[in-house]
Amino acid sequence: MGTLAIKRHHPDFRSTFDYDDDNTHIPKSSHPNSNSNSNSNSNSNSRVSRLHLYPTQMAPVSREIQAPCIIVRGFTGKRFNNSSNRLINNNNNSSSVKFVNFEKDDDIVELGYVDNNNNNDNSMQIDGFRFRDSGVEEIEVEMVESEKEEVNNKLGEVQEIRAKYRELDVKAEENRRVQVSASLESLSVGQRAEAGVPYYKRLLCDSVEKTDARLKRLSFDISFFEGKRALFEQLIPAKKDEDVLIEPFRPLDDDDLTMVANAFSNSSRRKVLVTHEESNITISGEVLRCLRPGAWLNDEVINLYLELLKEREKKEPKKFLKCHFFNTFFYKKLIGGGRTGYDYKSVRRWTTQRKLGYGLLECDKMFIPVHKEIHWCLAVINKKEKKFQYLDSLGGIDKQVMRVLAKYIVDEAKDKNGEDIDVSAWQQEFVTDLPNQENGFDCGVFMIKYADFYSRGLSLCFSQEHMPYFRLRTAKEILKLRAD
């Protein structure tokens, strides 16, 4: 079977449709009733009367072309079925022919239908226009065998690819189900065995157990490293003293050594070298000679040095602890009066706010020199750490000093602040891990250096071999009236 197509360039096409000069878009009708010999008025009237012959314009129907497809020009009575890519004839037992109009090779512009019910004449109507048989030719539309084979091959490849995709989808689904079931079985191991417990609860329990185990491990690591750090902290002070403590062991320059040598000379024995106005202490060459090697320290040198330590703390409060230094007469006065060996009233005015410029109980540490006939020791009221300390360079112990100082601090708090403090829980420490003297004359130097290092907040990192240097350094500081 063939199909009908319009041959617009056919020789009879132009003769069949004659266009007016003025209205080229309106063809002259070839209807048998039309009179070609009528006058102009009748022609114009016939033109108007023929307007009803134009059919109602139909909206174009867009149609998406599916590849692969065959492009057909003109109108045809056959159409394409995209699913099988075969031509289907619409002319069988049908009174209309589907019309497809193409302006370009691949673009469908409009669709129409041709009514073939009128079989009386050899004409065909398309969208209201009627054409004679002379303007229509029958064209056989056939697909080339090579094109058919190529299309079939492509369809076969597509079907094979789809089949492979289906197989892969089935395998992926099976693998997913296997993995889910395996994971659920693994989650059930070691979890609650109660019937009816949802999997998410079992999973939660398992995560909690794992978290607890992790926390236990972290807790163990923390405790381990804390203990390790504590061990290192015990070693840090000694190492710090060796590496950082430069100031307490700073060497004397040549000028300082010359100044000290002149003060120790015989020509300076009767001279007044320095006078400390605040404490009213005068140091002559004879008094200063107690700092020469092998001599015992006297009260004037000890008291002036302790005054210099207090002034050092006032000048640099952030560098040193807040301390108070009693002179060598305080403890003798405290235990000298009364029948019981304790007399607070005799020293009550020594620590007034007006005299000191600060409250005694505001201090972190209070240093009390203790003289035992021919030996010097140091007692400390350590308010910061709440303990009483006793330092003897010969390793001696004196419990009476502890009792006297405990009673004194209670009376001092009651008298100055009106407070009742309890020192029964304070520790009484007889310091044993301290530098000891190895002769019979350096006890005074050990005592003042105990106070010096404790007021710095440092450990006692010196020994007997440093005593000659400390004697020269103390003499230099007294001559300059400044403790470094």
Q: Which residues are catalytic?
A: 375, 392, 443
Strands (E), 142-276: 272-276
C-alpha–C-alpha distance, residues 290 and 407, integer Å = 34
- How far lies 53's CA from each of 27, 89, 118, 129, 135, in Å? 12, 30, 16, 9, 20
Cβ proximity of 247 and 453 under 8 Å: no
C-alpha–C-alpha distance, residues 325 and 102, integer Å = 117
First-to-last C-alpha distance (Å) of the chain: 126
Residues 114, 119, 122, 125: what is their CA dihedral angle, to the nearest 10 degrees?
-20
The amino acid at residue 215 is: L
| Structural element, H or E, at residue 382 | strand 375-382
Which ranges constitute the DSSP H helices of 245-357? 254-264, 285-288, 299-315, 330-336, 353-356
DSSP summary character for residue 199: H
